[in-house]
Amino acid sequence: MTALVEIDNVRKVYKRDAFEVPVLNGVTVDVPQGDFLALMGPSGSGKTTLLNLIAGIDRPTGGRISVDGKEISRFSETQLASWRSRHVGFIFQMYNLIPVLNAFENVELPLLLTKLSKKERREHVQAALGIVGLGDRSLHYPRQLSGGQEQRVAIARAIVTDPTLLVADEPTGDLDAKNAEETLDLLYRLNGEFKKTIVMVTHDPKAAQRAKRTLHLEKGRLVENVGMAASA
């Protein structure tokens, strides 16, 4: 498989007042097209930082990150914003829906940055909500939805632009077992049926088991690479 994401000797150092805190120390890894990769590790190991770098919402201190042949580590902020709108779908632990917008409007948000007509946007939103099984809840506001439903709306928002890459940061971290299982089923389906490349940060070994590969990070270094561990 060709590599969609190429991470080459990436370092990340945070500055905290006068101190420099190294978070990633020369991580090199490829994420092939269609992969479902789980990033695991203890708190502070650098997994969320690595995810943020892959998603283009943070910049590496050193090294190179390419996604789909484009070296995003050299992009300006404006270029990154534009690139993210077209190529990355985000799924967060706390869902992060906009509370003043209903499900339909939340899913429509990324499409407002495109040139699609209102009619085309509506078709895309309905399709995305249909995939996550919430077509009948499109007019509900986040406060009127359960945690599992909120996360499914967030997933619909992540896939509505048909992005190259889905990044998920602890997508089941705030859900009960049943809703976590449904969310993982959905991600598994997006990867298998819709061929979406997914990078997921998780603490949960059960969640990691649904991925095709698991990378373990410790103190900013890659310590283990478990391949093709996915199960239906």
Binds other proteins by CB under 8 A, chosen from 52, 126, 164, 209: 52
Q: Which is nearer to other proteins, 104 or 212 (CB)?
A: 104
Angle at 214 between CA 208 and CA 215, to 5 degrees: 130
Q: Which is nearer to other proteins, 13 or 226 (CB)?
A: 13
Q: Which is nearer to other proteins, 179 or 212 (CB)?
A: 179
**Measured distance CA(125)–CA(156) in Å, rounded:** 8
Long-range contacts of 220-227 (CB under 8 A, 24+ apart): 220/12, 220/22, 220/23, 220/24, 220/25, 220/27, 220/45, 220/46, 221/25, 221/26, 221/27, 222/27, 222/28, 222/29, 223/41, 225/29
164-223 positions binding other proteins, by CB under 8 A: 169-170
Element spanning 153, H or E: helix 147-159
Verify binding: residue 157, other proteins, rule CB under 8 A. Answer: yes
Verify binding: residue 21, other proteins, rule CB under 8 A. Answer: no
Binds other proteins by CB under 8 A, chosen from 24, 55, 65, 72: 55
Verify binding: residue 75, other proteins, rule CB under 8 A. Answer: no
Q: Which is nearer to other proteins, 7 or 88 (CB)?
A: 88
**Measured distance CA(47)–CA(106) in Å, rounded:** 27
Verify binding: residue 90, other proteins, rule CB under 8 A. Answer: yes
Q: Which residues bind other proteins (CB under 8 A)?
A: 48, 52, 55, 57-58, 77-78, 81-82, 84-86, 90, 92-94, 96, 98-101, 105, 109-110, 112-113, 157, 169-170
